[in-house]
Chains A and B, each alone.
Chain A
Amino acid sequence: MSWWETVRSGLAAIRAHRLRSALTVLGIVIGISSVILTVGLGQGAQQEVEDQIDALGSNLLIVSPGSSTDSSGNRGGFGSASTLTLADAAAIADEDAVPDASGVAPTTSSSVSLVSGDTNWTTSLVGTTTAWPDVRSRELSAGRFFTAAEAEQGAAVAVIGPDTASELFGVQSPVGQQVSVNGTRITVIGVLVSSGASSSGTSEDDVAVVPVGTASRLIGSTSTTVSTIYVAAVDEDVLAAAHQEVQALLANRHGVSTVDADFSIATQDSLVETANETNRTFTVLLGGVAGISLLVGGIGVMNIMLVSVTERVREIGLRKALGAAPRVIRRQFLVEASLLGLTGGLVGILIGVVGAQLLPRFIDQAVSISLVATLAALATSLALGVGFGVYPAGRAARLTPIDALRSE
């Protein structure tokens, strides 16, 4: 009996019990589609995080107050860890101390309300120096950044993000307009280019960047602490060297050892690693659950095949009497189980792919379908069919024709 003939008779047997076959396949369909979707969600999230962090620039060091206990957590209470000062930033900017740094931008950050006419918009106020655009790789779509002289004086000028611009001024050109912050009028002198899509709550595109002195004045603070110091290395190759230089310098200035430092330095890589670790945990967890449902689906196939063997004892007996060797019967049941598995796999992939297209419309999360995961899912469903078909097929093959024919 040819393989084609076996597949044909397997298909006929599956068609003969449509409802039962469909219910059997359902377990595998659910398993495969959930595996594809969870893996896709995990990879989509990972890709998004990588894109965001890429936008930071790959030669960037991010120095934050508070000690780092591991790659994913900071020690130090809220507000208590403002150990970084403008003087620290100035020291890093010293070419002799940190020769591998090409730019240093200390930033302060606070939330303020901007008022333009009768429009009121709350945004984050970033106080920084003239190095900020270079260090953060940001460009301007209109106007200009503030000058060193303006920074020195704490001039009442601001560069705003594109989102902020459209919220406050709509389609009007923001450059030259006035906004008021806590009663102080400041002039908008430039608009930033969008930094790219960001799904996180604090958008890089909704900011008001002002000289650091201006920021202190606007929020009525006299402190010289900063919330973050961004350090750009000369290029990616010396990032590690720059990291060490900054670490040694700050530890020395603060009189602490690098082991229990009161600051932490993150690189893009360490951020990616942290984000990916979290994503991986979720992917493995969800993938595990999906895998269990696949296993349950496989057991469903075995169940039905065993029922099918019992129900078709007479058919098996007849086929044997008419000249089917045990091997042929075994093959027939194996092919049937494999077809069930494969059908489930294909339908599951279809649902997974359609789901991957539809899901981003309902949740703000990209889903990327991986070819490898899809092929693996298909192979798994086929393997499930074969694996869980072996036992029922063996049982069918071992039936003796006399007993099988005589059974009622």
Chain B
Amino acid sequence: MSAIIELGGVRKTYRSGAVEFEALRGIDIRIDTGEYVAVIGPSGSGKSTLMNILGCLDVPTEGHYVLAGEDTSSLDEAELAAIRNRRIGFVFQQFHLLPSMSALRNVELPLIYAGLSRADRRERAAEALAKVGLAERLDHRPGELSGGQQQRVAVARALVTEPALLLADEPTGNLDSRSTRDVLGLLDELHDAGRTIVLITHEQDVAARAGRSLVIDDGLITSDRATAAAPAGATS
């Protein structure tokens, strides 16, 4: 298996006036293509900082981060934006759909920034929505969809660029138990289809769906183990 993510000696320090705060204190992680990894940790553990760095939303103060063969440590904002667009699909806790746009337009959004033609965008966005089971809801606005459906639109948006990495930040945090099962089931399917998924959560039972869990505490990885109850299809 080739490594899709390689973090080496990653540190992140925040400065606020004279006060320094070390959110990450030396993280080394290697994630292979097709892995389904859960990152678990209480709030304040450095979990969000790690997610930001993995998502190229932020750069480490020290250390290096190689994503799909590209070292991202020295890139500027515009280059990071391009990497996010091509390599990473985000699923957020708050869905982050644009309320004034239809589901289809929402899913098209990353393709607009990728510079695809309108016809191509339509086709691929409709395809991605069909894949998450929303082929009948293309023209619905987020306000007309249930929470679970909204999150599935967000998953479709994350998939539409065929990214190397699907990064899900507490994707079930705002969902009821039925929608939670729904969305986690979708992630399982994607994993079975060979996607690399990093899931950030503080819920043990959500993390249990992944094949591998990383526990982060106080800016350090304290545990890295294959999950005993790994569902069928875990290939790592």
Contacts and interface: CB of A to CB of B under 8 A. Distances in A.
Contacts of B113: 1, 319, 322-324, 328
A5 interface: yes
B115 A326 contact: no
Interface of A: 1-2, 5, 9, 12-13, 16, 314-315, 317-328, 400-402, 405
Nearest to A323: B85
B114 A323 contact: yes
Q: Which 5 A-B pairs have the closest CB atoms?
A: A323-B85, A325-B78, A323-B113, A325-B81, A322-B110
B58 interface: yes
Given A2-B115, A402-B57, A323 B78 contact: no
A1 to B, nearest CB: 6
B57 A326 contact: no
Contacts of A402: 52, 57-58
B86 A323 contact: yes
Contact of B96 (A2, A12, A326, A405): A405
A327 B85 contact: no
Interface in B145-201: 157
Contacts of B82: 323, 325
Contacts of A317: 96
The listed residue with most B CB atoms (<10 A of its CB), out of A2, A322, A400, A405, is A322
Contacts of A405: 57, 92, 96
Contacts of A315: 98
24 contacts: A1-B113, A1-B115, A5-B112, A12-B100, A314-B96, A318-B96, A318-B98, A321-B90, A322-B84, A322-B113, A323-B82, A323-B84, A323-B86, A323-B113, A324-B81, A324-B113, A326-B77, A326-B81, A327-B78, A328-B113, A401-B57, A405-B57, A405-B92, A405-B96
B109 interface: yes
Contact of A320 (B81, B100, B114): B81
Interface size class, chain B = 20 to 34
Interface in B38-95: 52, 55, 57-58, 77-78, 81-82, 84-86, 90, 92
B122 to A, nearest CB: 13
A153 B122 CA distance: 100
Given A314-B96, A315-B98, A405-B96, A325 B110 contact: no
A329 to B, nearest CB: 9
A320 B77 CA distance: 10
Contacts of B81: 320, 323-326, 328
A180 B110 CA distance: 94
Nearest to A317: B96
Nearest to A2: B115
Contacts of B77: 325-326
A376 to B, nearest CB: 35
A318 B55 CA distance: 13
Contacts of B112: 1, 5, 9
Contact of B84 (A13, A314, A321): A321
Contacts, number: 59
Contacts of B109: 319, 322
Contact of A323 (B52, B92, B96, B110): B110
B24 to A, nearest CB: 14
Contacts of B92: 405
A90 B10 CA distance: 109
A328 B78 CA distance: 9
A21 to B, nearest CB: 13
B88 to A, nearest CB: 9
A322 B78 contact: no
Nearest to B83: A323
Interface string B112-130: 1111000000000000000
Contacts of B96: 314, 317-318, 321, 405
Given A326-B78, A400-B57, A400-B58, 14 more contacts: A318-B96, A318-B98, A319-B109, A320-B81, A321-B96, A323-B81, A323-B110, A325-B77, A325-B78, A326-B77, A327-B78, A401-B57, A402-B52, A405-B57
A84 B109 CA distance: 87
Which of A314, A326, A405 has the most chain B CB atoms closer than 10 A to its own CB? A405
Given A1-B112, A405-B92, A405-B96, A321 B78 contact: no
Contacts of B85: 322-323
Contacts of A2: 115
A320 B58 CA distance: 12
B70 to A, nearest CB: 15
Nearest to B157: A322
Nearest to A327: B78
A160 B164 CA distance: 98
Contacts of A324: 81, 113
A402 B54 CA distance: 12
Given A12-B100, A315-B98, A402-B57, A322 B90 contact: yes
Nearest to A16: B100
A321 B86 contact: no
A326 B77 CA distance: 7
A12 B109 CA distance: 14
B175 to A, nearest CB: 18
